[in-house]
Amino acid sequence: MKRPVRWLKPLPLRPRDTVHVVAPAGPFDRPTFEAGLALIAERYTPTHRPDLFAAHRYLAGDDSRRAEELAHALTDTSARATFCARGGYGSARLLPHLPLADAAPSLFTGFSDLTSVHGALQALGRVSIHGPVLTQLGKQPPEVREYFFRLLESPEAPPPLTGSATYVPGSAEGHLVGGNLSVLACLLGTPYLPPLDGAVLLLEDVTERPYRLDRMWTQLRLAGVFSRVRGIVLGDFTSCEERDAAYSSADVLLDLAREEGLPCAAGFPIGHGTLNYPVALGTQVRLDADSARLTFLEGAVRP
């Protein structure tokens, strides 16, 4: 894939715009999905295929179903956004079958397993939204939902986010890339890795024991990722503790970050935790690690 020369922002969402709902990864819980769907239906006009609720082992239907669904959503010029039902696993399997270069200038939102789709879009210079999936959206407090819809609808830069800890002091500025650590590590050596040079790298994960976090982080290091980025933003690492261990996942991440020596702050409310604030991948940000503050220098959508 050709690396981006300039970043292409999606069009903003407006009241009653048509939006696609897709399930490119795992099957999902119907009640939590319906709660999230109801929230976007209050503002927009969601549409989905009747086979959205299909299930095949650990996937939301076979590859052909999911790829056809996502390809249509990404290229449909009559719709303004694509919302994902759930993460889980399976999105990376679809990447070779998606007409990504022909994607419409619309919003793509999701996180976790959807990191693979984000990476592929960023490899083509497209901005996308790392934010709640529908099965998670209904569980988010009003302030997160309000932040989410503001990001989708306004070209103004959103308010900054604050983490809880400084791992390595300093500051860094660049375009934001990344997402789920384990999924990003799987993109190494593929054409779908986002452009890293001069970037600020976002990482989060769930249910990965500390030694696995170390292993995946080391994989990024050996692949030269940390020699290309300018700073590291750590979101939630949810349920990543080793039972009865004398150390925590935070202890391990702190040591790993200090080994890199890049400005790094942790504890941002991004990922699988109670709060999942959305962020626009591909947009310019400034990380002030000393104050654990992530400032957004531009909005996610076009004026």
Place of tokens 């604050």: 162
Active-site pick, 69, 153, 204, 260 = 204
Active-site pick, 20, 130, 175, 272 = 272
Instruction: Calculate the alpha carbon distances from 183 to 76, 111, 229, 276 in Å.
Output: 26, 10, 18, 18
Alpha helices in 20-83 (DSSP H): 30-41, 63-75
Contact 114, 21 (CB under 8 A): no
Cβ-based neighbours of 186, under 8 Å, separated by 6 or more = 92, 116
260 classed as catalytic? no
204 classed as catalytic? yes
Vertex 55: Cα angle to 123 and 281 (nearest 5)? 20
Q: If DSSP codes are grouped into helix, strand and coil, which group holds residue 9?
A: coil
112 classed as catalytic? yes
State the Cα–Cα distance between residues 282 and 160, nearest whole angstrom.
16
Q: Which tokens sit at 276? A: 């999942």
Active-site pick, 69, 91, 106, 112 = 112
Active site amino acids: 112, 204, 272
